[in-house]
A and B are shown apart, each in its own frame.
Chain A
């Protein structure tokens, strides 16, 4: 399971990296007269209403989806790690404030907020990444915090304190390395969430029209649902498979870390 899902993500990464090298950047945008062709030998995934090749669009869209997914998961992971570590280790007022903040985030309708921000402030990859990361770090922060709290009370952390090792070194060398597993698990889940969120935003037509992502192709598909099913089936399947791969990978990490599983 871990190999299949990991392999799929690696394959997608390769596609994302190689696409701009092998394709001319205009190719996916190439308008032609062959409008709304069903999948055939010439166009494996068919063409859209402007005669653009869906396969090329899907390949091109891999970049945006993956970049948004991975970068925002990374950013959320880092923010969450720092905030969670501070919250768990320092305790007191800082902890209380951070926890209240994450609680508030938890009850926010994240998609609506993201849609609101993007709609009002304007779309763009970086902005979408910032919004997704900015809204999904609390998850990680909570996980990190509970891990830090748990490990802080364990014998080895206390023994290190009794040896006179500084608090900062204890946090960095004793606690965080042992808290990393759950952080990775939750980060892969964040990546899947980010990919779905990006797809949803572009599906709602909130991303700028000159970038191609899986969600934006899907959005065209929604308009032409009755005539051109291929516009929905292929990009949708890819979003699903990618999110699935990240989720599966996250599950594998979590299972490997769970002492009860063996």
Chain B
């Protein structure tokens, strides 16, 4: 297990390094002065420009620039957003919280719903399969930002059931319970929109893995022992079927985060996505880069966590067993 953790952490280094280097190269490859990319079109004092030029050693060769950029990133200095009057790091971290607040519950619910759909589709063969492939195709094909729009038109504009935008009501509410309820109401539509893709992903994999686990030989052993079907499902089938599902959650976390980023701007959810859209409009490039760097790092972390969870559940991975007899 230690070894697994170590190899995964070692693997993360080049990935994050690539993200950082891509970030660096992009600034330098933009036609014109990299300062334009760093400061944007925000009117700043020439003194400040000179300071940046000196700090990032923009008058030095590219290799030295890269080193100083890496050094800056390692210190947590991702630049300053003039539009928001805040350092990029604190801005991005702050917005990431809102994004995760949207994504986390959505992922959890989507996983459960996806598993349920998979179970149903296996239980009722013909109609279940049709239902499942409809869900899967819908989830993979629907543009999430458009789905969000349609939900707003229907539930907020026409029916007035749910709030259309933001994470909390403007007028403010009092009391923990009321705040929670208010958040929940705001969360429903974006949460659903984010979750749709994920339900499709989970349902597809879970169906295959459940079916696979059910046809495994050890199920026959369990049945031959004489234990109940319920116990067979919970103790033998489900744990084995969950392994591929866990992998796919980790593997698709990037897509889920991307989906969140796309959905947020539709619902004006104050997370990374809205920030991304605003920053692009305002040519606030350091923020865009910061979002890229942060989301890349989050995805890497989630991938490592997935592998560890997998190793925790599966003793074969834990002991480095490679299969075969």
Contacts and interface: CB of A to CB of B under 8 A. Distances in A.
Interface string A95-107: 0000010011011
A128 interface: no
Given A104-B18, A239-B143, A109 B281 contact: no
Interface of A: 100, 103-104, 106-113, 115-117, 119-121, 189, 192, 196, 199-200, 203-206, 218, 221-222, 225-226, 229, 232-233, 236, 239-240, 243-244, 246-248, 251
Majority SS of interface residues in chain A?
Answer: helix
A114 to B, nearest CB: 10
A189 B296 CA distance: 23
B15 interface: yes
Contact of B258 (A111, A233, A244): A111
B140 A106 contact: no
A107 B299 contact: yes
B37 A107 contact: no
Contact of B14 (A104, A111, A233, A239): A104
A232 B11 CA distance: 43
Contacts of B133: 251
A118 to B, nearest CB: 9
Contact of A232 (B14, B149, B280): B149
Contact of B141 (A112, A115, A244): A244
27 contacts: A100-B14, A103-B11, A107-B300, A108-B254, A111-B258, A112-B258, A112-B292, A116-B288, A119-B285, A120-B26, A121-B30, A192-B140, A192-B141, A199-B143, A203-B145, A204-B276, A204-B277, A204-B280, A206-B280, A221-B149, A222-B266, A225-B149, A232-B149, A236-B143, A236-B146, A243-B143, A247-B140
Contacts of B277: 204-205
A106 B269 CA distance: 26
A213 B265 CA distance: 20
A117 B295 CA distance: 15
Contacts of B303: 107
